[in-house]
Amino acid sequence: MEIITKCLENNIEINQLRRYINDDKTPVYATGMADTQKAQVIVSLGKKSNLVIAENSFKAKEIYEDLSYFNKTSVCLYPAKDIIFYSADIKSRDIIKTRFGIISRLIAGEELTIVATIEALFDRLVMPEIFKSFVLNYKIGDEIKTDELARRLVLMGYERCEAVEAQGQFAIRGGIIDVFSAIGENAYRIELWGDEIDSIRIMDSFSQRSVENADSVTLYPISELIYEDETLKKAIAGLRKCLGATGNTKLQETLEEAIERLENEKFFPGVEKYINWFYDETAHLLDYMPANTVVFYDEPNRIKEHAETVFNEFTESVEGQIRSGTMLPQQMKMIYGYEEVIAKTLRYKTALFSALMASLRDFKPKSTLDFKIKSTPVLRGDARIMFDELEFMYKHGYTVLILGGGSARCQRIYEELIDREMPAALLTDKESYSKGVIYIGKGADTHS
């Protein structure tokens, strides 16, 4: 809602924070803000590409909802995989779909505000240029070699089957290719005339019938670990070397099974835990984001505490699997450590938000800023407290915005204020405002 950012255009602290960020005097440590106010500050800074780091999934969702109130289209919630039970989470198509939906927008050049938990940033990803090379774009008139496409799709994590019913599946029957991409709600049917694409149709995976014509189709990987044949051979050779070096019978069985599946199937769910055998260099989510991205830590000390808890649980889990012979010691490095994530984020302009001033354990701020924010009183069901507060505010020249929920409720609040002879107005699409007026608008944020 533009009225909020307009009201904050002349805020001294926000303008000072913007100068610190623009002048690269970061990390900047900003204190004194409550939860909802942090979202308002982030939006008011006017930066288009942002990464907001939260301590856990509950806080991440709150921040996402607060930011989405201002802009639903460019705010994304990047979900975390379960790094403790690593392979179990691979089956979650919803998580893969959401993450790839965000990554696909990033590689297309979009500037987004991404909200993520600290553990979501532990994941190692393939380098952006590798991911881009596995995004397949086809249009009518293009040529396709079905054998080459089938091999490519398998390396992208797709499953070949008789009939396409779910995301990540494909079927080839003569000159008809059915494929359900990682992103999107529908499968596609590609019909060939020889090797040339004659038609592309959106397909109902339930009825197996074409429902709508399309000019083109884009196919994204279904796995976060994607690789060419040469890279696959490198990984298999590395695992064979580990196989020859171990005397642990159980570990030998684990490695033999992984090698066999890679040789025969090219891909299997959970292969991501062997990422370090495929690639010497891995990427981080920030590597997919623009260089002008601003990173925000919401309560950095709490983030550290949560990160240590998660990483300790991960370490204990992997150590147990190493002892039982189901994992290699090198797999302790299949995710980034907390310190590595901190180092990567500090390559970007960084702001640290905290409600209270406290000593920071992992950051050395180049500048500090304390926001002078007055919280509204707790109403406890007593409307008189609210009206007394509103009367004080408008008489002292404050611009007040009340988020009243739906239209009917906004109208009731407006009428009540008019009855009390207070200067009230319903917000219009024009989004203009005047000092000393109480505005009532539709909507709500998560905390106030």
Sign of the Cα pseudo-torsion (218, 48, 40, 308, in order): positive
The three-class DSSP label of residue 110 is coil
pLDDT band at 448 (very low <50, low <70, confident <90, very high): very low
Q: How many CB atoms lie within 10 A of CB 53?
A: 27
pLDDT of 257-298, one tens digit each?
Answer: 999 999 988 888 888 899 999 999 999 999 999 999 999 999
The whole-number pLDDT of residue 305 equals 95
Superfamily per CATH, domain 2-127+283-370: P-loop containing nucleotide triphosphate hydrolases (3.40.50.300)
Residue range(s) of every CATH 3.30.2060.10 domain in the chain: 136-219
Q: Which CATH class is domain 136-219?
A: alpha beta
- Which range is least confidently modeled, 13-22, 179-188, 275-284, 356-365? 179-188
Residue range(s) of every CATH 3.40.50.300 domain in the chain: 2-127+283-370
Contact 396, 365 (CB under 8 A): no
The whole-number pLDDT of residue 90 equals 45
25: number of CA atoms within 13 Å, CB side? 12
Alpha-carbon distance of 124 to 336, in angstroms, equals 7
pLDDT of 28-87, one tens digit each?
Answer: 999 998 888 899 899 999 899 999 999 999 999 999 999 998 888 999 999 998 776 555
Q: Which amino acid is at 233?
A: K
Alpha-carbon distance of 225 to 283, in angstroms, equals 11
The whole-number pLDDT of residue 88 equals 44
Place of tokens 């392979």: 87
The three-class DSSP label of residue 421 is coil
- What is the SS3 string spanning 126-187? CCHHHHHHCCEEEECCCECCHHHHHHHHHHCCCEECCCCCCCCEEEEECCEEEECCCCCCCE
pLDDT band at 387 (very low <50, low <70, confident <90, very high): confident
Omega into 423 within 30° of 0, i.e. cis?
A: no
Q: Write out the two tokens for 42.
A: 């982030």
Alpha-carbon distance of 367 to 289, in angstroms, equals 25
37: number of CA atoms within 13 Å, CB side? 19
**pLDDT higher than threshold 60 for residue 308:** yes
The pTM of this model reads: 0.86
- 299 or 393: whose pLDDT is higher? 299
- DSSP-derived letter for residue 271 is G
**pLDDT higher than threshold 50 for residue 245:** yes
Alpha-carbon distance of 140 to 143, in angstroms, equals 9
pLDDT band at 384 (very low <50, low <70, confident <90, very high): confident
